[in-house]
Amino acid sequence: MVLHGSRAYLVTLVLLSVLGSVIAVWPRPHAISRGSGTVRLSQHFRIVIDKGDERLCKAKIADVSDMVNGALSPLRESLAQAIQRSQSRVQHDTHALLRVDRGASYLKSVKDASVLTTLSLSITREGRRRPITYETNFPYEKQDESYTLTVPARCKKGLCTGTLAAKTTLGLLRGLTTFEQLVYSFPPSVKSNAKFIIDMPVKIEDKPAFPHRAFMLDTNILRTLDTMSSVKLNVFHWHATDSQSWPLSLPAFPELAKAGAYSHDQIYSTSDIKRVQKYANLRGISVLLEIDMPGHTASIADSHPQYVACANHDWTKYANEPPTGQLKLGDANTRRFASAVVKDASSLMSSPYFSIGGDEINEACYQIDPTTSAALRQRSLSSLLKSFFDSVHGVLETAKKTPVVWEDIILKHNVQAGGKKAIVMAWISASSVQALVQKGYHVIHAASDYLYLDCGGGAWVGGTTGNSWCERIYSFDPYANITCSQRRLIMGGEALLWSEQSDGSNLDPTTWPRAAAAAEVFWTNNASRSAIEALPRLHDWRYRAVNRGVAAIPIGPEYCALRPGACNL
């Protein structure tokens, strides 16, 4: 999905701060209280399961070799891996406070501080004790990501324990990512390997404002999932196929990838798909797979030309981007083929949601296709599209999956998607949302004028002026121009990166920290959200991410990052 000539772009928080000391948690917690003390982490600090939670305690940490050999139950495995990841980050991160002295002035207070020996995890009495991978793939209305983090919760003779409580293992995972952000190291010049937390005691009660907080991508996936989890993004929208390439090797249709991928080395096998899904699920991220149709399907013509209209024609007339080709309408064989592809692909996915696209359908393409043009003489384009999507949606309904579609088929072609059971992604502009909720659809924000990340390099096709526009993500209001009663229809939103001009060489700086700004917008939805307050926290998150190997672009000079408020206008 591309906007030529004026590609959408997202400007990160190039805004200034007046705050001094902040607890630099990103995204901002729902509620937080803090003190002015300091605790030092024990050299033998451990994250443990509360012994009082007998059922959860059975999921105690096992040896890594046990996990590799598959000896753990799903509950034990998912918790063990989450705890070990956090334990490792706390131990190995060397991120120092963003102060002029990088925290060196805390040396004496840290030496004299009480010692935090453990962080104790528990599920509340009314909570669910199920694997993180299971909780991640619940329908949105059944998910619970809330948690309460207290550090320290209790101290005795200078030895302290923190507590993390949640109703689900998914909530525990979210709380662990928050705890990691509280811990700092001293700079190398101090010659101390102590880890410490400031502004103690701290109590954080947190929960998301929206259930869908996503990032859309189609390349270099695994390392991006780790960074997504760190900012509590919970959906990986995998735009897996498009006009240029079909990299998915489906069990029933292996020929699609064999003929349609860029090369035999650029194919996602079934095991690759399962690996991505498990990797994401263990990090609290569900995978929303998208097979875009009937448009953006030129790559199908390489293996099944009989189903594709206007393949290999002048793209400036018959497509929104090269190459041309979209699935035929008014043809029963094509409908059966499309439905079978969706059935095969959706069977691989654990998420209760599946996207079948529906954007940028080129009407001129169908006029030059004999099959579709003949059908258009008998029926309208909207009627033909309805038959196509009814067939595909029927497959998803049988699989007990909710369809996700782009706004075009509803607002442009007036097709009722899935009997209004579909979730609609509003991408053309933020103003589309009002029209969608008035029709009664649940909506995911994907506004190109706020949430697209692939702007700045100009258009990717030749012979254009290269114009771009840029908007500010952090100013985005998910409830703009809708009534209070319609707010229940807003499921959340996502940052999107179309990778025509992105690959492994520039993925990180193109994505981060801008996608982190989207993460906070859809985690908090605070109407009084302040970029002035946010900037020191985002600086801190970005420096911590770089410390972990993420090539996130600087938000501003280090001088300003170390002196909150000093660079204000």
Percent of the chain with pLDDT over 70: 89
Give the angle 173-93-35 at the CA atoms, nearest 5°.
70
423-426 and 402-406 strand pairing? parallel
CA of 460: how far to CAs of 137, 357, 515, in Å? 36, 22, 22
Dump pLDDT digits (tens) for 429-449: 888 999 999 999 999 999 988
Residue closest to 543 by CA, chosen among 3, 24, 49: 24
Q: Is residue 306 part of a domain?
A: no
In the predicted model, what is the mean pLDDT of residues 73-95?
A: 93
In the chain, what is the greatest distance between 2 CA atoms, to the nearest angstrom?
85
* Range scoring the smallest mean pLDDT among 16-30, 316-330, 399-413: 16-30
Catalytic residue among 145, 360, 407, 471: 360
| pLDDT number for residue 66 | 37
In a domain, 261, yes or no: no
Residue 91 belongs to domain with CATH number: 3.30.379.10
Q: Would you place residue 57 in the very low, low, confident or very high pLDDT band (cuts 50, 70, 90)?
A: low
Of 496 and 457, more confident: 496
| Model confidence at 44: pLDDT above 60 | yes
pLDDT tens digits for range 185-242? 999 999 999 999 999 999 999 999 999 999 998 767 898 999 999 999 999 999 999 9
pLDDT at 461: 40
Q: List the structure tokens of 212.
A: 């869908």
| Contact (CB, 8 A) for 34 and 201 | yes
Query: What pLDDT score does 430 carry?
Result: 85
* Cα 58 from Cα 236, distance rounded (Å): 30
pLDDT at 124: 93
| 39 close to 90: Cβ distance less than 8 angstroms | no
Q: How many domains does the chain have?
A: 1
End-to-end CA distance of the chain: 38
Interacting residues of 404 by C-beta distance below 8 A, sequence separation 6+: 288, 290, 353, 354, 355, 356, 422, 423, 424, 425, 444
Average pLDDT, the chain: 89
Q: Any idea which residue has 């053309």 for tokens?
A: 428
pLDDT of residue 50: 87
Residue 456 counted as domain residue:
no
Q: How far apart are CA 23 and CA 25, in angstroms?
A: 6
- Residues 273-292 pLDDT 10s: 999 999 999 999 999 999 99
**Of all helices (H) and strands (E), which one includes residue 258?**
helix 254-260
CA distance 295 to 375: 17
Tokens of 146: 């809330």
In a domain, 74, yes or no: yes
Answer for the pair 180, 91: CB distance below 8 angstroms, yes or no.
Answer: no
Q: Which residues pair with 327 in a beta bridge?
A: 308
Note if 360 is an active site residue: yes
pLDDT band at residue 55 using 50, 70 and 90 as cut-offs: low
Q: Tell me: pLDDT of 564 over 60.
A: yes
pLDDT for the residue numbered 6: 30
**Which positions ≥6 away from 137 have C-beta within 8 Å?**
281, 286, 350, 351, 352
The answer to whether the beta carbons of residues 486 and 23 sit under 8 Å apart is no
**Are 444 and 492 spatial neighbours (Cβ–Cβ below 8 Å)?**
yes
Q: What is the pLDDT of residues 455-465, one digit of tens each?
A: 654 443 444 44
pTM to 2 decimal places: 0.91
Range of lowest pLDDT (158-167, 255-264, 557-566): 557-566
Backbone phi and psi for residue 280, each to the nearest 5 degrees, phi listed first: -65, -50
CA dihedral 61, 62, 66, 70 (to 10 degrees): -30
Q: Which amino acid is at 453?
A: L
CB 377 within 8 A of CB 384: no
% of the chain with per-residue pLDDT over 90: 78
Element (H, E) at 149: strand 147-156
Q: Which residue has the higher pLDDT, 152 or 71?
A: 152
Asked whether the predicted pLDDT for residue 14 surpasses 50, the reply is no
Tokens representing residue 272 in the block: 């690759």
pLDDT of residue 394: 96
Residue with tokens 């899904």: 277
pLDDT band at 8 (very low <50, low <70, confident <90, very high): very low
Query: How far is Cα 144 from Cα 520, in angstroms, rounded to an integer?
Result: 17
Binning pLDDT at 50, 70 and 90, where does residue 61 land?
Answer: very low
C-alpha to C-alpha distances, 11 to 324, 349, 472, 475, nearest whole angstrom: 32, 33, 5, 10
In a domain, 259, yes or no: no
Mean pLDDT over residues 513-521, rounded? 95
465 Cβ partners below 8 Å, 6+ apart? 5, 458, 459
Query: What pLDDT, on the 0 to 100 scale, is given for residue 490?
Result: 98
- Boundaries of domain holding 141: 31-206
Q: Range with the lowest mean pLDDT among 10-14, 510-514, 548-552?
A: 10-14
Quote the CA–CA distance of 295 and 310 in Å, as a whole number: 11
Q: Coil, strand or helix: which one is 561? A: helix
Angstrom distance (rounded) from CA 424 to CA 445: 9
Calpha distance 451→313 (Å, rounded): 32
The answer to the question of residue 91 being in a domain is yes
pLDDT for 469 equals 44
Count CB-CB contacts under 10 A for residue 320.
18
Please check whether residue 211 lies inside any domain of the structure: no
446-451 CB contacts, 8 Å cutoff, 24+ apart: 446/216, 446/493, 446/494, 446/496, 447/476, 447/493, 448/3, 448/8, 448/496, 449/8, 450/8, 450/10, 450/476, 451/8, 451/10, 451/476, 451/493, 451/494, 451/495, 451/496, 451/518
The predicted model gives 164-190 an average pLDDT of: 98
Exposed / middle / buried, residue 325 (Cβ in 10 Å: 0-12, 13-18, 19+): buried
pLDDT band at 64 (very low <50, low <70, confident <90, very high): very low
Q: Look up residue 418 and give its two tokens.
A: 């899935």
With bands split at pLDDT 50, 70 and 90, how would you rate the model's confidence at 418?
confident
58 pLDDT tier (thresholds 50, 70, 90):
low
pLDDT of 70 > 50? The answer is no
| 374 has pLDDT over 50 | yes
Show the CA angle centred on residue 215, arms to residues 401 and 285, nearest 5°.
60
Task: Flag whether pLDDT at 538 surpasses 90.
Answer: yes
* pLDDT greater than 90 at residue 63: no
Q: Is the pLDDT of residue 65 over 50?
A: no
Choose among 112, 352, 345, 350: nearest CA to 212.
Answer: 352
The runs of H, that is alpha helices, within 13-106 are 54-57, 64-68, 74-92
Least confident of 258-262, 450-454, 501-505: 501-505
The C-alpha atoms of residue 118 and residue 158 are separated, in whole angstroms, by 13
48 domain residue, yes or no:
yes
Per the document, the length of the chain is: 569
